[in-house]
Amino acid sequence: MNTKALMSSVLLSCWVIAPASALEVKLGVLTDLSGVYADLAGEGSIQAARMAVEDFKGSERGINVTITSADHQNKPDVASSIARRWVNSDGVNAVVDVPTSSAALAVNEIVRDANALHLNSTGGTSDLTGKACSPHTVHWTYDTWSVANSTAKAVMDTGLKSWFFITADYAFGHAIERDASAFVETHGGQVLGSIRHPFPNQDFSSFLLQAQSSGAQVIGLANATSDMQNSIRQASEFGIKEGGQSLAGLLVFLPDVHAMGLQAAQGLYLTESFYWDLNDGTREWSKRFADARGGNMPSMVQAGVYASVLHYLKAVEASESTDADTVIAKMKEMPTDDPLFGQGKIREDGRKIHDMYLFQVKTPEASTGPWDYYEVVATVPAEQAFRPLDQGECPLVNN
């Protein structure tokens, strides 16, 4: 057959096969553009969503995707009113990202009875797939249970058994401390004490002093972002490591390490589900991301936005609908596979599972350049990394 005829028949068949009307999908990236999570999520999350839409090539499949975004300023009331307006009045089909546990819970409620989905990547609370679980929510990248348990498990596997916690005095901090302590105590470790600091806080010297005098092998930091960064920098000032104690950050992200600098953060143990330098797949995607973001490598939550949006769009295509119940059933039915998180799946309670990795922050000498911060210490397989289905008290799970 001559090439011209082949080409024309291929083109013709494409045109014939294409659906008569396109599916309209509207995504809303609800993130923090001006507060403590702006570097972690923020504009990067919007960028990640855009990349997912571009890579999906919806126009070739008869699906038109538009993206809108807003800043919820880490406040549950702002998040709630934006999500409410989007879902009830602006025709948004999926609310994506949503940092800050309180905001995530608020959006969770808005979406529960509406015809829209909540694809959460940055919010931490494990209640999203536990007590507060909803048929319309997918919790992607991580949660408080998984980071607390994975970090505690992996640190204890290196032989460090006695712990002291410095906890931020709010729900998130309490939850992480509770989950990590429970793990430590049921696995042959000891919790020598804990202390709660006001949230947010600038000066940790007195709390570090108490941690030092407890003699614990590990000081677990049950706090995040600037509190955690300040704790770590001041810990190096007070010679914590020289005194023989290790620091475990129960929630640390790559941009935090970048902000602290290796001098202060070296030796820190942390758990993440994604790192730009893990494998060729992550490297290739991250480089594309960084080129659009002025050289800043993606955080795991930004990777989560990409992966969750991509999987959502695939489910929309497969079910040929934007109806929330139909699409989410499809999302849970289809196993996930992307270059960022590898293979995984979404459970009945909305929890996406994938491997988690224990990293240790490199010393300044060992690092070859900016963003080369982590060494992989251990991998926690997906089935063990997240809270077992029957322990979450989620009403959607038939026990």
Partner 1 sequence: MTSFVNLGRETGRSTWAVSGHALGFAALLIVAIVAPVFVYPVFLMKVMCFALFACAFNLLLGYGGLLSFGHAAYFGSASYVAAHAAKVWGLTPEISIGLGVLTAIGLGAVVGSISIRRQGIYFAMVTLAFAQMVFFFALQAPFTGGEDGIQAVPRGELFGIFSLASDRALYPFVLAITFGGLLLIYRIVNSPFGEVLKAIRENEARAVSLGYHVNRYKLVTFVLSAGLAGLAGSTKALVFQLATLTDVHWSMSGEVVLMTLIGGMGTIFGPVVGAALIVTMQNYLAVLGGWVTVIQGVIFVVCVLLFRKGIVGVLTGNIRSPRVKSRRKSQK
Partner 2 sequence: MFDFLGIPPQALFGQLLLGLINGSFYATLSLGLAIIFGLLNIINFAHGAQYMLGAFIAWFMLTYLGLDYFWALIVAPIVVGISGIVIERLLVSRLYHLDHLYGLLLTFGIALILQGTLRNVYGISGLPYAIPQPLSGGTNLGFMFLPNYRAWVVVLSLVVCVSTWLVIEKTKLGAYLRAATENPALVGAFGINVPLLITLTYGVGVGLAGFAGVLAAPVYSVSPNMGADLIIVVFAVVVIGGMGSILGAIVTGYGLGLVEGLTRVVYPEASSVIIFVIMAVVLLIKPNGLFGRAA
Comparison of 55 and 238: residue with beta carbon closer to partner 2: 238
Comparison of 233 and 283: residue with beta carbon closer to partner 2: 233
Residue 238 binding target from partner 1, partner 2, none, CB below 5 to 8 Å by type: partner 2
Closest alpha carbon to 388 in 373, 377, 399, 375: 399
Closest alpha carbon to 224 in 130, 304, 151, 328: 151
Distances from the Cα of 69 to the Cα of 32, 90, 159, 170, 172, angstroms: 10, 12, 45, 28, 25
Closest separation between CB of residue 290 and partner 2, Å?
16
Interacting residue with partner 1 among 71, 337, 372, 375 (CB under 8 A)? 71
* Residue 239 binds partner 2, judged by CB under 8 A: yes
> Cβ distance 284 to 303 under 8 Å?
no
Residue 256 binding target from partner 2, partner 1, none, CB below 5 to 8 Å by type: partner 2
* Residue 169 binds partner 1, judged by CB under 8 A: yes
Closest alpha carbon to 303 in 262, 344, 347: 344
Residue 85 binding target from partner 2, partner 1, none, CB below 5 to 8 Å by type: partner 1
* Residue 70 binds partner 1, judged by CB under 8 A: yes
> Cβ distance 44 to 97 under 8 Å?
no
Q: Binders of partner 2 among 169-198, rule CB under 8 A?
A: 169, 195-198
What burial class does residue 297 get, using C-beta atoms within 10 Å of its C-beta: 0-12 exposed, 13-18 middle, 19+ buried? Answer: buried
**Cα–Cα distance between 80 and 39 in angstroms, integer?**
22
Among 30-38, 128-136, 324-332, 379-387, the segment contacting partner 2 (CB under 8 A): 30-38
Interacting residue with partner 1 among 47, 93, 101, 120 (CB under 8 A)? 101
* Residue 89 binds partner 1, judged by CB under 8 A: yes
> Cβ distance 386 to 371 under 8 Å?
no
Comparison of 39 and 97: residue with beta carbon closer to partner 2: 39
**Alpha-helix runs per DSSP H in 276-323:** 280-292, 300-319
**Cα–Cα distance between 4 and 10 in angstroms, integer?**
10
- Supply 70's token pair: 């807003």
Q: Binders of partner 1 among 183-212, rule CB under 8 A?
A: 199
Comparison of 64 and 205: residue with beta carbon closer to partner 2: 205
Residues that contact partner 2, how many (by CB under 8 A): 40
Residue 226 binding target from partner 1, partner 2, none, CB below 5 to 8 Å by type: partner 2
Closest alpha carbon to 224 in 3, 41, 11: 41
Helix (H) / strand (E) containing 343: strand 342-346
Interacting residue with partner 2 among 84, 85, 174, 233 (CB under 8 A)? 233
Q: Side chain identity at 205, as an amino acid letter? A: S
Q: Binders of partner 2 among 33-62, rule CB under 8 A?
A: 34-36, 38-40
Comparison of 170 and 238: residue with beta carbon closer to partner 1: 170
**Residues at the interface with partner 2 (CB under 8 A):** 34-36, 38-40, 169, 195-198, 200-203, 205-207, 209-210, 212-213, 225-226, 229-230, 233-234, 237-239, 243, 255-256, 258-261, 263-264
